A and B are shown apart, each in its own frame.
Chain A
C-alpha cells in the first residue's frame, strides 16, 4: 500500500521523472565525454554553471528556469572554451587548465551567491540549493523544459551518430574524410553542458560530474558496441536516478542528489568487479584457470619427456596437488614401489600419454 501511496505522490512523481530524464541525457553524453578522455570537462562545466545561475538571478530578479538555463549554459560553455584555449595557446596541460578554470568560475559563483544573499532579496531563497540540488523543489514546468532538452539532444545524437562516433574514435581520420571536426567536437561539448543544465535542479553543480562519468564507466564494462554502451549508460543513469529518488523519499530527509550519485557509484563498483570479460573477478578467475592449465601441460610434458629419469619428479606442494588432480582425472598412475628415494613412482597412463603427445604437438605447432 505504501508503494501505491508513493506513486500517486505529486512530489515523488516529479522527482522520479526528473531523475530519469537526468539519467537519460547524462548517461549517453557521458559516454562520449569518457571516450574522448574529457570526463572532467563535465566537472568544469557544471562548477562554472554557478556564476551563470547567480548572474541570471541578478539580472532577472527571479528564479525563472529559462533564465537559469541560459545563464548556466553561457558561463559553462565559456569555461569550456577558456579551458580549450588555455591548453592550445599556453603551456598549461589539460588537467592544470581544467583545475584553474573550475575553481576560478566556482569562486566567482560563490562570491555572487553571497552578494545576492547580502541584498536580502526575498525571492533569493533557495538559490544555494543549486550547489547540491533540491530535487523535491522540482516543478512540472521544470520537467517539461528538462524533457525537451533531453529529447532534442538525443535526437541530434541519433541523426549525427556516424560523425559523433568517428570523431570520438579517430578525429584526424574523420577530418581527412571531410568532416568538420571542430564543429562536431564543439557540439559534443555543448551537449555535455546541456546535460549539466538538466542535472542542476536534481543533483546540483558540485556532484553533477559523477552523473556524467559514472554511468559511462559502468556501461563500458558491459558493452561491445558504442550503441550498446550508450543504451546501458542511459539505463544505469535512469536506474540510479529512480532508486536514489525512492530511497530519499522513503527515508524522509536524506538528500536526493547525493543518493542518486551514490547509487550510480555502487553500480560502477559492481560493474568493475563482475562484468564478464573486463571485470576484475573475471580476470582473477581467468588467471588461475590459465595457470592451472599451463601447470598441467608442463607436468604431462615433463613426465612424458623424462619418463626414464625419475630425479626430475616435482616435489613442491603446488605440483603435488596437481599430480593428485591429474591422477583423479585418469592421466597418471602411481606405482607403490619407488626404486630409489627420489622416485615417487608417478607414471603416465595410456590416456595421459595421448594427452602429453597432444600437448607437445600443439606446442610445436605454436613454435613453428
Chain B
C-alpha cells in the first residue's frame, strides 16, 4: 500500500488547536511529515507532545484542525495507523497473557463479530518474535518488567501492519538494552517504508535516532529535517532558560549518543 516515495506526505495537519480548561495546549499547529521517515516530537514538559498525538487520533477533542493520513482524512484511514500508548496508561494487573495483548492489535481488522483464531494467534506470535519476546508469550502481563511491557505494546502495534505509527514515549523508563532493541525495530520499519512518529524526551539521543524533527512548545517552534531543526537557537526558543546549560557544550551534546 505505502510507497517509500519521499515526496508522499504521510501525515498532514492543518490549523490544529486544542485547549484544556480554556487554556490552549496546542495552538495553530501546521505540519507535514513525509512518508518513510523516523520523526521525533521533542519539547519541554507540558509542551503538548502527547496531547498532539492523542488529538490526531481523536482521543482528545480539538477546537479546530484537520488531520490527513496519506492524503485522506484520518477517520477513513484508521487501518493504516498504529498506536503505541504510554506504558503507564493501562493497568498491567489485568488477567491476560502477553500473546493475548498482542492479538488485540488485530481486533480492528476482525470487525464486529469475528473472533481471533489460529491465524491471528500465529501473527501475534510472529510479532512477539520480532520484539524478542516469543518466550514470554504465555506469561501473565503482570509478571513482565517495564521494558518487556513496552515491547508487548510495540508488538501489538506491529501486528496491525500499519503504514504510519504513533509512539508515545516508547523509551521512557526502559533499560539501555530494550531501548536499543526498540530503536532497531523502528529503524527496520522505516527502512521498509513505514513512517514513525515518536514522542521523545531525551535530547541526548535525538540526533542519532531521528531523521525528521518537530520541536514543539504549544506552537510549532521548528519542523523539518533533523539537522536543520536541531539547532541551539531553536532549542533555546523551545525550552527557554532550561536549555542554558547546553549552550557551552553544544558539541559535547552532539557526540554523546548511546546508539551508533
Binding site for B on A (CB under 8 A): 35, 37, 159-163, 165-166, 168-170, 172-179, 220, 223-226, 228-229
Pick the residue among A35, A162, A228 that contacts B91 (CB under 8 A): A35
Please name 21 pairs of A and B residues whose Cβ atoms are closer than 8 Å in the assembled complex, sorted by A: A162-B107, A165-B104, A166-B104, A166-B107, A169-B91, A169-B96, A170-B104, A172-B54, A172-B89, A173-B83, A175-B57, A176-B57, A176-B58, A176-B59, A177-B78, A177-B107, A223-B95, A224-B95, A224-B140, A225-B95, A226-B96
Residue of A nearest to B78 (CB): A178
Q: How far is A224 from B94 in the complex, measured between Cα atoms in Å?
A: 9
Least Cβ–Cβ distance between A171 and chain B, in angstroms: 9
Q: Which residues of A contact B91 (CB under 8 A)?
A: 35, 37, 169
Pick the residue among B81, B85, B113 that contacts A172 (CB under 8 A): B85
Determine if A177 and B95 form an interchain contact, defined as CB atoms under 8 angstroms apart: no
Besides the contacts A162-B115, A162-B116, A178-B108, what 8 more A-B pairs have beta carbons closer than 8 Å?
A35-B91, A37-B91, A162-B110, A166-B107, A170-B90, A172-B59, A176-B83, A224-B97
Q: Which residues of A contact B78 (CB under 8 A)?
A: 176-178
Q: Which residues of B contact A175 (CB under 8 A)?
A: 57-59
Q: Which residues of A contact B169 (CB under 8 A)?
A: none
Q: How large is the interface on B (under 10, 10 to 19, 20 to 34, 35 or more residues)?
A: 20 to 34
Least Cβ–Cβ distance between B11 and chain A, in angstroms: 14
Binding site for A on B (CB under 8 A): 54, 57-59, 78, 81, 83, 85, 89-91, 94-97, 100-101, 104, 107-108, 110, 112-113, 115-116, 140, 156
Q: A162-B115, A177-B78 are in contact. Are A170 and B96 (CB under 8 A)?
A: no
Determine if A225 and B57 form an interchain contact, defined as CB atoms under 8 angstroms apart: no
Q: Which residues of B contact A223 (CB under 8 A)?
A: 95
Q: How far is A179 from B78 in the complex, measured between Cα atoms in Å?
A: 11
Determine if B81 and A169 form an interchain contact, defined as CB atoms under 8 angstroms apart: no
Determine if B115 and A169 form an interchain contact, defined as CB atoms under 8 angstroms apart: no
Q: How far is A168 from B95 in the complex, measured between Cα atoms in Å?
A: 11
Q: Which residues of B contact A176 (CB under 8 A)?
A: 57-59, 78, 81, 83
Least Cβ–Cβ distance between A163 and chain B, in angstroms: 8
Q: A175-B59, A176-B57 are in contact. Are A159 and B97 (CB under 8 A)?
A: no
Q: Which residues of A contact B81 (CB under 8 A)?
A: 176
Least Cβ–Cβ distance between B138 and chain A, in angstroms: 9
Q: Which residues of B contact A160 (CB under 8 A)?
A: 112
Determine if B89 and A170 form an interchain contact, defined as CB atoms under 8 angstroms apart: yes
Q: How far is A14 from B119 in the complex, measured between Cα atoms in Å?
A: 46
Q: Which residues of B contact A166 (CB under 8 A)?
A: 104, 107
Determine if B95 and A229 form an interchain contact, defined as CB atoms under 8 angstroms apart: yes
Determine if B94 and A173 form an interchain contact, defined as CB atoms under 8 angstroms apart: no
Determine if B85 and A177 form an interchain contact, defined as CB atoms under 8 angstroms apart: no
Determine if B58 and A173 form an interchain contact, defined as CB atoms under 8 angstroms apart: no
